[in-house]
Structure 1
Amino acid sequence: MLHNQLFNKRENKDIRQMKNRGYSIKDLEVLSGVKAHTIRIWEKRYELLVPERTDTNIRYYSDDDLRRMLNVAMLVRHGYKISKVAKWDEERINQTVLELSKKKASESDFTDRLILSMVNFDNRSFYNLATEIIDSLGIENAVAKVFFEFFVRVGTYWQVGSVFPAQEHYVTNILRQKLIAEIDKLGVSGEKNATILFFLPENELHEMSLLFYSYLAQKMGYNVIYLGQFVPWDDLIKIQKKVNVDYVFTAFINSISKTELENYLESLKELYSKQKVFITGWQLQLHQPRLPRNVKVVKDYHEFKRFLR
């Protein structure tokens, strides 16, 4: 019993040390996509990284180690031999990554570079890269093929503790600004003479998908009423009485039970009984809820555009 207590105290101390000083090998595995076993081999065989160790000999890694690992992982995925890359200094590794990024600007490469800028809180690089991605792919493909995939990966990292909330908020705000700027360029036409109400339920703060779908609707000539995050149910009731809408769109990303979700959808059907209600979000994939007759799940932006034509 006493032995277990002492072991747990040492283990907790190790965790505190790693959190205060750097990253665990599991963090490097999750962020780089390289298995921990492979990282250890690269350390032993090529001296790629030289980690610090806790009092009980557990590895932990610095920001510089993480940057090196992310860059090397990217190069190896593109066919460079680890035995050669491991001998390069940081300047050559960084330069090769930059050259590769210019030549092979795939969606996966863009996502890797976004992750690296986020981890480093490199505001200029992240902002400029987001601009480059939009200019290269167009806003629709940039969001659907890169930014959404980026947030999926960030969500995974957050769950395992490799990314902390401030990092997610920081990059979300930059990409949110980009989307709002694109929406502003469209102006307000409402040429289709139809109105779509966009909102997120109470306790729902993840706004990127809602902004993107509102952009698509506005681009297609719909009149968009955008309420944004955390809309109380009482406000929806008041709006329903004052504003005539043809469609309603909402999303469910934050954790919610299947029962709560189905009850909310049923209430939404009653409130907007004459409108088509579009819904999207991870919780729908997770729970596969029973859908009221006027509620439609939107699987991707191509499907949404087909609905609106």
Structure 2
Amino acid sequence: MSTYSIRDLEQLSGIKAHTLRIWEQRYTILSPDRTDTNIRTYGDEDLKRVLNISLLKDHGYKISEIAKFSTDELNREIVKISERHLSYPDQIQALTIAMLDLNEDRFEKIISTNILQAGFENTMINIIYPFLNRIGTLWVTGSIGPAQEHFITNLIRQKIIVAIDSQIGSPTSSGKKYMLFLPEGEFHEISLLFAQFIIRSRSNKVIYLGQSLPFNELVFAHELYQPDYIFSVLTTVPSNHEVQPFVNRLAGAFPNTQVLLTGYQVVGQDITPPDNTIIINQITELMRIASN
């Protein structure tokens, strides 16, 4: 069971700590424990309740009305709202609750509805990517555990693979050749998989080499395939002081290939890209390159 401060609840729900204290006193909607120094601490059920309340309030429910709901009644109201066409922040909030509850049915309903209404690519850009950013915040603050993170990211990964397998059409003669990989020790595959979807959907050829590829194997595959572009996502590796040498090594090993890099380790960092290297700051930049 995780423990949260009132500031954690504020950050995760968007409801001010001052407001939460008033609700706690007036409506007894939260049941915090107290430390020896009388500081409030909250548990998993408190977090889920606050997230649910935030979603209901955004849809016109009054806090005095919400406070009267039992847990089952609160959940039923959330399901009703989730079946409507929600705004993007609402969808992300609903996905967060599904993750915390390990609720695959709710995840499936939210994502399938959005794909049907807006298409897979728009669903990824407007809902899944912001949701992944929220997961990162929850992970850093200790708000979710490995089971919840693995549960939701594996569901997202499955959705992308199905979308890739469902793509219709073949590369055109004018399509470029892309080689996609993650460096050795890197296992965060969702962004790489979505990049594969984007590149293939624009009639390009893709060789997907996947997770944790040793550098010598990348060199071997490059000699065999001779791609126009190499694309990778650097999320956790290399370590900070090794990123620039790794970028330089990539660019130097493949001087006649355009190297495209994204991920936490390079975006917004003090990385100097060599002449044949581009740092992809937004997914729309990859879409533009793949379209050309």
TM-score by length of 2: 0.89
One-letter amino acid of the counterpart of residue 93, structure 1: L
Q: Which residue of 2 aligns with 1:14?
A: none
Name the one with the larger helix percent: 1
Determine what percentage of the aligned residue pairs are the same residue.
38
110-119 vs 72-81, which moves further: 72-81
One-letter amino acid of the counterpart of residue 185, structure 2: N
RMSD: 2.3
1:97-152 C-alpha deviation (Å, 9 max, x unpaired): 33333344111111101100100111222233222222222111111111110110
Verify: 1:154 aligned to 2:154, yes or no. no
Q: Secondary structure at the match of 1:283?
A: coil
1:154-206 C-alpha deviation (Å, 9 max, x unpaired): 10111111112221111111110000001001257222453100011122221
The aligned length equals 290
Q: How much does 1:70 deviate?
A: 1.3
Listed as ranges, the gaps of 5+ residues in structure 1 are: 1-17
Q: Secondary structure at the match of 1:268?
A: helix
State which of 178, 195, 218 in structure 2 corresponds to 1:236. 218
Q: Which residue of 1 aligns with 2:268?
A: 286
Verify: 1:163 aligned to 2:144, yes or no. yes
Verify: 1:226 aligned to 2:208, yes or no. yes
Contact 1:245/1:275 (<8 A) preserved:
yes
Verify: 1:273 aligned to 2:252, yes or no. no
Q: How much does 1:24 deviate?
A: 4.6
Verify: 1:39 aligned to 2:20, yes or no. yes
Contact 2:82/2:110 (<8 A) preserved:
no
State which of 278, 281, 287 in structure 2 corresponds to 1:299. 281
Q: Which residue of 1 aligns with 2:121?
A: 140
| Matches of 2:176 and 2:160, distance apart in 1 | 22
| Matches of 1:62 and 1:266, distance apart in 2 | 46
Superposition pairs of residues 204-223 of structure 1, within 5 angstroms? 204-223=186-205
Q: Secondary structure at the match of 1:226?
A: strand
Listed as ranges, the gaps of 5+ residues in structure 2 are: none
Q: How much does 1:57 deviate?
A: 5.2
One-letter amino acid of the counterpart of residue 278, structure 1: L
State which of 20, 39, 59 in structure 2 corresponds to 1:78. 59
One-letter amino acid of the counterpart of residue 170, structure 1: F
Contact 1:201/1:229 (<8 A) preserved:
yes
Distance verdict in 2 for CA 1:193–1:91, change over 3 Å: closer
Q: How much does 1:40 deviate?
A: 2.0
Q: How much does 1:293 deviate?
A: 0.3
Q: Secondary structure at the match of 1:282?
A: coil
Contact 1:110/1:133 (<8 A) preserved:
no
Greater CA radius of gyration, 1 or 2? 1
State which of 187, 197, 206 in structure 1 corresponds to 2:179. 197
Distance verdict in 2 for CA 1:231–1:259, change over 3 Å: same
Superposition pairs of residues 16-27 of structure 1, within 5 angstroms? 19=2, 23-27=4-8
One-letter amino acid of the counterpart of residue 199, structure 1: F
Q: Which residue of 2 aligns with 1:96?
A: 77
| Matches of 1:255 and 1:231, distance apart in 2 | 12
| Matches of 2:80 and 2:146, distance apart in 1 | 31
